[in-house]
Chain A
């Protein structure tokens, strides 16, 4: 397996879309036409080999969950809770994408960021997803 040919962000996007999760942006948030809730997927750190022959690779992806604030400016906690619950159902998971198998596991114990000010008009939760590729 060649590290340069592996794009874990697209594998996770494909996995989420396969499970009917839409509004995923692996290459940054667009300036216009942003939906009321959306998700960002980005590499967090590097891809590393977990075996001597590089047949098993590992990396961390960061999943950003953005939910539009309510009209009174407060966090839409109901919607946030529904989305986080949905993700807890989806992970851990194994998914085949472009001749490689991806194992995703989500760390709910540690939020990289949780707040309402990271993106104007939206609340944000950022979580790390451990990825094993073979």
Chain B
């Protein structure tokens, strides 16, 4: 009797391992491909939005350069995207309080964000939208010399983030809803 139980246990263990192996292969080959398709559609859409957005006019392209996407799998960055490479031809001069001026290079800020531990370890697969702070935050909150019309204020919280979220939802519903 004991032998029969042992055999059944081994049989179940073997079946479970086969099932897990098959499921993992399915996820890696099929599900991952579908997820990647959704991610790519979202990335393309957001860059189109950036090219046609009305939140600010690009003076130096340093804000544009500070934006990128990271695709994460189990918290590990496996692909990083930045649209067209560096577009700014000069650093942005940012006016801080008491007359202090700092120069900002959006691309180099973004570079330092890549591989940071702020990545997407909140899901099996995640798409992370980067905007290198403090410059992006400086524009978002209109802390500097945005002028009387506060150019770019809310570009992150009212602009790109809701748009990205909507495109993601719409794309998932369209293909897999």
Chain A residues in the interface with B (C-beta under 8 A): 28, 42-46, 60, 62, 110, 112-113, 115-120, 126, 128
Least Cβ–Cβ distance between B155 and chain A, in angstroms: 22
- B contact residues, total (Cβ < 8 Å): 21
For A61, the closest partner residue in chain B by CB is B115
Q: Is the CB of A45 within 8 A of B74?
A: yes
| Chain A interface SS verdict (over half) | strand
Within 8 A of A (CB), among B81-139: 82, 85-86, 105, 107-108, 111-112, 114-115, 117, 119, 121
Chain B residues in the interface with A (C-beta under 8 A): 72, 74-80, 82, 85-86, 105, 107-108, 111-112, 114-115, 117, 119, 121
For A62, the closest partner residue in chain B by CB is B115
Q: Is the CB of B85 within 8 A of A117?
A: yes
Q: Is the CB of A112 within 8 A of B85?
A: no
Distance between Cα atoms of A120 and B78 in the complex (Å)? 23
Chain A residues with CB below 8 A from B80, complex form: 112-113, 126
Q: Is the CB of A28 within 8 A of B108?
A: no
Chain B residues with CB below 8 A from A128, complex form: 76-78
Q: List 14 A-B contacts (CB under 8 A).
A: A45-B74, A45-B76, A46-B75, A46-B121, A62-B114, A110-B78, A112-B80, A113-B114, A115-B82, A117-B107, A118-B114, A120-B108, A126-B80, A128-B76
Distance between Cα atoms of A65 and B40 in the complex (Å)? 25
Chain A residues with CB below 8 A from B115, complex form: 42-44, 62, 126
Q: Is the CB of A45 within 8 A of B121?
A: yes
Distance between Cα atoms of A65 and B16 in the complex (Å)? 42
Q: Is the CB of A120 within 8 A of B86?
A: yes
| Among candidates B79, B82, B108, residue contacting A110 with C-beta atoms closer than 8 Å | B79
Q: Is the CB of A117 within 8 A of B82?
A: yes
Q: Is the CB of A115 within 8 A of B108?
A: no
